[in-house]
């Protein structure tokens, strides 16, 4: 790491983890922004690198949020179906 | 200490701590609930349900279930890239927390490159959908 360049996290780990475990499209967008961080840092564009870093983080978070919301809806749906099943007297 | 290095300890270790707690939570659930069961309460991949395509994360739940039951073959059958990349992701998290081993520097440079992961993940997504051997080994077919 160059001692004079400030550290701008590219949030790559989150991008990868959310691509694998959460929402693939948003995760990929996050990786693309993470890629921009390193490129802009290398070109000396610190402000641009910070902006891409924030966007990489934001897209990884959206990916995670979409996954969590999806799971909550899914389990809500399952429980609702289970409730309906119990009400209608089906037994299993 | 220079200002660029003054990120607090908490910030440095937070990603590793968050990942470790999520992994522990997932391990506890997967010790008890099997995604292989036909009436499994664990959700499948919505992308697969919608498109019928295997994304890079498809098979991850079954893969992790096999992993926490020390079934390496089962894990590799479901999502080989996940099994292989988990130790590297752990290294990246450790690296971010400041645990650095000089001998691993060349490896870390490759891992820190977003382009590497972009090509790897998209290439993997394409290859595991090809319906002939040897690529079918990449698909989570149970």
The residue-averaged pLDDT of B126-139 equals 91
Predicted local confidence at residue A4, as pLDDT: 53
ipTM of the complex: 0.81
Q: Which phi and psi angles does B125 have, rounded to 5°?
A: -60, -40
> pLDDT band for position A1 (50/70/90)?
very low
User: Pick the residue with more confidence: B36 or A5?
Assistant: B36
Interface A:B, Cβ pairs < 8 A: 68
Show me where the domains of chain A are located.
12-87
Please name which of A31, A27, A24, A51 lies closest in space to residue A40, comparing C-alpha atoms.
A51
Helix boundaries (H) for chain B? 9-32, 46-51, 60-68, 72-78, 80-97, 105-111, 114-127
Please name which of B110, B93, B18, B98 lies closest in space to residue A38, comparing C-alpha atoms.
B110
Residue B98, CA distances (Å) to A5, A11, B1, B7 in order: 17, 15, 15, 11
Predicted local confidence at residue A38, as pLDDT: 85
Interface of B with A in 38-97 (CB under 8 A): 41, 43, 46-47, 55-57, 60, 82, 85, 89, 92-93, 96
Closest CB to B47 among A9, A17, A24: A24
Query: Model confidence over B68-98: pLDDT tens digits?
Result: 999 999 999 999 999 999 999 999 999 888 8
> pLDDT band for position B142 (50/70/90)?
low
Q: Do A13 and B121 touch (CB under 8 A)?
A: no
Q: Do B7 and A7 touch (CB under 8 A)?
A: yes
Q: How far apart are CA B84 and CA A26, in angstroms?
A: 23
Q: How far apart are CA B25 and CA B16, in angstroms?
A: 14
The tokens for A64 are: 């995670």
């Amino acid at each position: 790491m160059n001692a004079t360049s400030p550290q701008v996290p590219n949030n790559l780990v989150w991008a990868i983890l959310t691509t694998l475990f959460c929402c693939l499209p948003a995760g990929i967008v996050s990786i693309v922004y993470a890629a921009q961080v390193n490129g802009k840092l290398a070109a000396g564009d610190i402000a641009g690198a910070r902006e891409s870093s924030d966007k990489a983080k934001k897209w990884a978070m959206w990916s995670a949020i979409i996954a969590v919301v999806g799971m909550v809806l899914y389990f809500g749906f399952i429980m609702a179906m289970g409730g309906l099943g119990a009400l209608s007297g089906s037994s299993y | 200490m220079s200002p660029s290095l003054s990120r607090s300890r908490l910030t440095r270790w937070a990603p590793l701590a968050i990942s470790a707690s999520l992994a522990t939570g997932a391990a506890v659930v997967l010790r008890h609930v099997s995604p292989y069961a036909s009436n499994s309460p664990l959700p499948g991949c919505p992308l697969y349900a919608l498109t019928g395509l295997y994304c890079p994360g498809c098979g991850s739940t079954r893969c992790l279930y096999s992993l926490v039951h020390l079934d390496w073959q089962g894990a590799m059958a479901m999502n080989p890239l996940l099994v292989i990349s988990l130790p590297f992701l752990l290294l990246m998290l450790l690296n971010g927390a400041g645990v650095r081993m000089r001998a691993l520097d060349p490896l870390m440079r490759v891992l820190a490159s977003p382009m590497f992961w972009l090509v790897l993940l998209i290439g993997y997504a394409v290859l595991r959908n090809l319906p002939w051997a040897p690529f079918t080994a990449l698909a989570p077919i149970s």
